[in-house]
Amino acid sequence: MQAILSPGSLVTIAGAVLTVIGTIAYATDIPNLSLPTIFYGIPILLGGLALKSSELPPPERLTPASRFKQLREQAASEPLRKLLADVDRWRYGQKAHLESSLEALKLWDEEAPPQLLSVEELDCGGHYGLRLCFRCAGVPLERWQARRERLSRFFGPGLNAEIQAGRLGEFSLALVPQAGASEQPT
């Protein structure tokens, strides 16, 4: 359902509908309807197809948006709130989410970039945290672990980056507040 409601899909559908209406109007000899709908429908259809070919869907969100609303709105969670808003939308023309951030952190591989699979919001003893699950294709887990301190500072002040290996080729990066770092995130 999420793929049907993407902006690229909506533009493609709108262009296809206009093109079909224009074609039918042309075939039934209704020039007032056929010319504008074909004239606008075909470029809109082609633009939608171009968007569709370069779209990157948002990662799976494991927690409902309303569950941690109060924690998310605290002033201390501003960097994590911005990070969540950044990854929780459709992207166009990018190979992966957080592309520029991962390039700056030297955790990027042009041929096989890390793919963000899911995002989970955490309650860390009354503090807000995020867990990002990645598939590390071309960037080994050891390189992520070596940059753990830099990851802690990069995404905001007062955060701890906790990296845990998952299934083959996957790992999770938990960004939790330092005050709640000793407590296990839920």
Domains of the chain, earliest start first: 7-53 (no CATH), 59-180 (3.30.980)
Q: Tell me which residue of 127, 137, 107 sits closest to 178, measured CA to CA.
A: 127
Give the pLDDT confidence of 104-144 residue by residue, as tens digits. Answer: 888 898 888 899 999 998 888 778 888 999 998 788 888 99
The contacts found for 87-91 with CB under 8 angstroms, 24 or more apart, are 87/58, 87/59, 87/116, 87/119, 87/132, 88/58, 88/59, 88/61, 88/119, 89/58, 90/6, 90/7, 90/8, 90/55, 90/56, 90/57, 90/58, 91/55, 91/56, 91/58
Element (H, E) at 103: helix 99-104
The per-residue pLDDT for 180 is 40
Which region, left, alpha or beta, applies to residue 112 given φ > 0 means left and ψ of -120 to 50 means alpha? Answer: beta
- List own/partner pairs for 158-163 with CB under 8 A and 24 or more apart: 158/76, 159/79, 159/80
Taking 60 as the threshold, does the pLDDT of residue 181 lie above it? no
pLDDT in tens, 16-55: 999 999 999 989 988 888 888 889 999 999 999 999 999 9
pTM, full prediction = 0.77
Residue type, position 18, single letter: L
Cβ neighbours of 97 (radius 10 Å): 24
183 has pLDDT over 90: no
Label residue 4 by pLDDT band (50, 70, 90): low
